[in-house]
A and B are shown apart, each in its own frame.
Chain A
Amino acid sequence: MNPDPALTGHRPVRVHVSERGNAFMRDIAEWIVEAAALAGRDAVLETGLPKADGMIHLAVAPHELFPLSGASPAEVDAAVAASVLVCTEQPGTPWFDTTLDLARRAAAVLDINVVAVDALRAAGVDARHLQLGAVPSMTVRDPADATARPIDVLFLGALDDRRGAVLAQLAPVLASRIAELRLFRFEGPVGAHTPGLVFGHDKYRLLADSSTLLNVHRASTGSTRPYFEWARMVEAMANGCVVVTEPSDGTAPLVAGTHFVEADADHLGATIEALLDDPERRREIAAAAFDAVTGELSLVTAVGTALDRLDREGTSGRTAPPRRQRGRPPTDRRTDGRSGTGFAAFRPHRELQVAAKRAAIAEGHLLRRLDTAACLLHHGTEQHVERWTTPTWEPCTPEVSVVVSLYDYAAVVCETLDSIAASEDVAFEIVVVEDHATDASRDVVRTWMDAHPGVPVLLLGKEVNEGLSAARNTGFEAARAEMVMTIDADNLLVPRCLRRLADALHADAGAGAAYAILEDFGASPALRSALDWDVERLCRGNYLDAQAMWRRTVWAELGGYRADEGDVYGWEDWDLWLRLAAHGGRAAIVRQVLGRYRVQATSMVALSNVAQDLAVAAIRQRYPSLPWPAGPT
């Protein structure tokens, strides 16, 4: 029962959050409602705009609430003036700029991070700090519960270039432990519909199942101070999950080394390793952090104090003279999906590029015809495939076949084979398809096979180069296992990759394929194949590498890779993923770094990227039923 304002002297509290915004903001709003109620307030969650009616209206994540309301500028002005903003955004981001504009016109301003409070005050806004802490509903696991946590390292957050690079650097540690990387991209509001993301109770459960939560800063935005993601950190601490973070400002009253662990990017890996190997230290830090966020920092206390102050001081005054931004109303790039100037890029020499790309592809065709002529002379057939096997290949009954497509990778293919041979807890065979390379690829593999008779390997050497797609298809046809992993001859697997992906397919009968996160190496570190299966995202562009494990039956039903040599050249992987989606299928993600992708200065990718709009248009026509983004076809 809500407390009677007439008896308590407290004004009722309405906590507003956008129903169209990011779902983690709703989590924060719900914590505030819970904390206010426990502080003896009449508190209710609302999704509409605040109004001047004598109640206290807390507007959580105002950069979403107001721009996404659809209200007129006058209605927004009135609502902002009646609101106490609860700001959540990091200075230096466009969302903070939107927040600042609104804060100048609000009745009062609170922010959950002292770094942002400082930035707001520096801009002339009388902002106050709302110290985030735990509420009882956050904790889903008794911190004294000593049962094992299945996840060693958890990361929850938006993926950007910096985070991708830091996580890629950590790949060796992440690959040797049970890691769970829950990554997403800010291209629209995230919520329960966003593949891979969890909120509310499901998120607390995930944190309760994790030993450590990793915090890596976003890409630097100018003068921004390193930011402590308080909301996520509190949720972790409330569930006994130890926070490991890059050095951050505004962590007080929490203390590094006591309530969380701090290390710069270069030392994060070693720090995580040391922490995971020291359960006693983990228990101590988890206990201290839990006590802090549920005791001294309890959100009930902070919200109660803030509301008492708002009761005393009222919420009718402005925090600073209004200084509204000119131009279009503030928007949130995370929520409206727009970016840039709105002009398409200027493409000079486009026709020339298209013609040159077709000439390059025609050169490939000519080469193939020459190979065919030579093959006819030699063998009397248009294609001839030579076979070599190791002694263990014939008797082997593999659970997984690994198809390695090989063309001109003599210098690195042994590294790839070594990485596959190191696979653990799985019966596998390797099928190498050598696509009539111009270097010594074939001889190098034969030498490797001679040196590794205990590894079941089938080498297929083609006399006519047919291209990557045809090589993969040849490998699938020769594979004897139901589960087939594809890998190019310059990439690597980590020892647990095959086991984990096979387990994912065993566990998910509806998945036609399974893939894991890959670490880029050889150039700037980054991650790829890092996001969950999402058909809408797939239609916006290929975010999945070909390095994946397929059910051979699904591959066969789909017709295998298309050996396109026209405008779709180089997009055959994407074409197969889209075909899977168009047939109602899907792929399962294993959110761990289980492979390494060699980034090279020159590759076929560069040619396939030329005039890619033609490739996209051609592929769109093939799969009209998919949810393509609006635009030219």
Chain B
Amino acid sequence: MSATDIDRLRDENAELRRRVEAAEALIAELREEALVRRREVRSLVEAMPAATSRKALLRALAGDLRGQVLGRLRRIRRR
């Protein structure tokens, strides 16, 4: 193998190494992002109310309705 071929292969090798390192850096960056996103998605999933009793739901609805009615009444009185 000639010295020129060796230089060419060495250059090719360096270029491939540079590409691999660039790809690895990008993968590492994507991995970090993916880890952060996975944590976020998991915390969102886990924060959702899984189940509630109908009694609690009706109580919440009644409380909300009462607030709405009282608010309307206050606005009517102010007019």
Q: Which residues of A contact B (CB under 8 A)?
A: 343, 345-349, 352-353, 356-357, 359-360, 363-364, 366-367, 370-371, 373-374, 377-378, 438, 602, 606-607, 609-610
Q: Is the CB of A360 within 8 A of B42?
A: yes
Q: List 6 A-B contacts (CB under 8 A).
A: A345-B51, A345-B53, A346-B51, A347-B51, A347-B52, A370-B30
Q: Which residue of B lies closest to A368 (CB)?
A: B34
**Residues A370 and B34 in contact, CB atoms below 8 Å apart:** yes
Contact present for A367 and B35 (CB under 8 Å): yes
Interface residues on chain B, size class: 20 to 34
Closest beta carbon of chain B to A608's beta carbon, Å: 10
Cβ-defined contact, A363 with B41, below 8 A: yes
Chain A residues near B20 (CB-CB < 8 A): 377
Asked if residues B41 and A359 are in contact (CB atoms below 8 Å), the reply is: yes
CA–CA, A349 and B24, complex, Å: 39
Task: For the complex formed, measure the closest distance between the CB of A603 and the CB atoms of chain B, giving whole angstroms.
Answer: 10
Contact with B45, one of A348, A438, A610 (Cβ below 8 angstroms)? A610
B38 and A370 within 8 A (CB): no
Contact A367 B23 (CB under 8 A): no
**B46→A606 contact, CB < 8 A:** yes
Kindly identify which residue among B31, B49, B54 contacts A349, using a CB–CB cutoff of 8 Å: B49
Centre residue among B23, B34, B43, B44 by max chain A CB count within 10 A:
B34
Q: 7 more A-B contacts (CB under 8 A) besides A345-B51, A370-B31? A: A353-B48, A353-B50, A360-B41, A360-B45, A363-B41, A374-B31, A607-B46
* Min C-beta distance of B59 to chain A, whole Å: 12
Q: Report the bound CA distance from A325 to B31 in whole Å.
A: 65
Interface residues of B in 26-72 (CB under 8 A from A): 27-28, 30-31, 34-35, 37-38, 41-46, 48-54, 57
Question: B-side interface residues toward A, CB under 8 Å?
Answer: 20, 23-24, 27-28, 30-31, 34-35, 37-38, 41-46, 48-54, 57
Residue from A347, A377, A607 within 8 A of B42 (CB atoms): A607
Residue pair B27, A356 in contact (C-beta under 8 Å)? no
Q: Are A348 and B24 in contact (CB under 8 A)?
A: no
Once bound together, how far apart are the Cα atoms of A610 and B44, in whole Å?
A: 11
Assuming the contacts A347-B50, A610-B46, asked whether A356 and B41 have C-beta atoms less than 8 A apart, the reply is yes
Residue of A nearest to B46 (CB): A606
Interface residue from A345, A357, A359, A363 paired with B34 (Cβ < 8 Å): A363
Query: For the complex, what is the distance from the CA of A407 to the CA of B39, rounded to whole Å?
Result: 15
Partner of A374, one of B24, B46, B51: B24
The reply to whether B48 and A349 contact each other, CB–CB distance below 8 Å, is yes
Give min CB distance, B43 to chain A, whole Å: 8
In the assembly, what is the distance between CA of A357 and CA of B42, in Å? 7
With A360-B38, A370-B31: A346-B53 Cβ-Cβ less than 8 Å:
yes
Are A367 and B54 touching (Cβ within 8 A)? Answer: no
Measured in the bound complex, the distance between the Cα atoms of B48 and A347 in whole Å is 10
Q: Which residue of A lies closest to B19 (CB)?
A: A377
- Whole-angstrom CA separation of A606 from B43 in the bound complex: 9
Interfacial chain B residues near A367, Cβ < 8 Å:
31, 34-35, 38
Collect the chain A residues with CB atoms within 8 Å of residue B43's CB: 602
The distance in angstroms between the C-alpha atoms of A607 and B51, with both chains bound, is 14
Give Cα A366 to B37, complex, Å.
Answer: 11
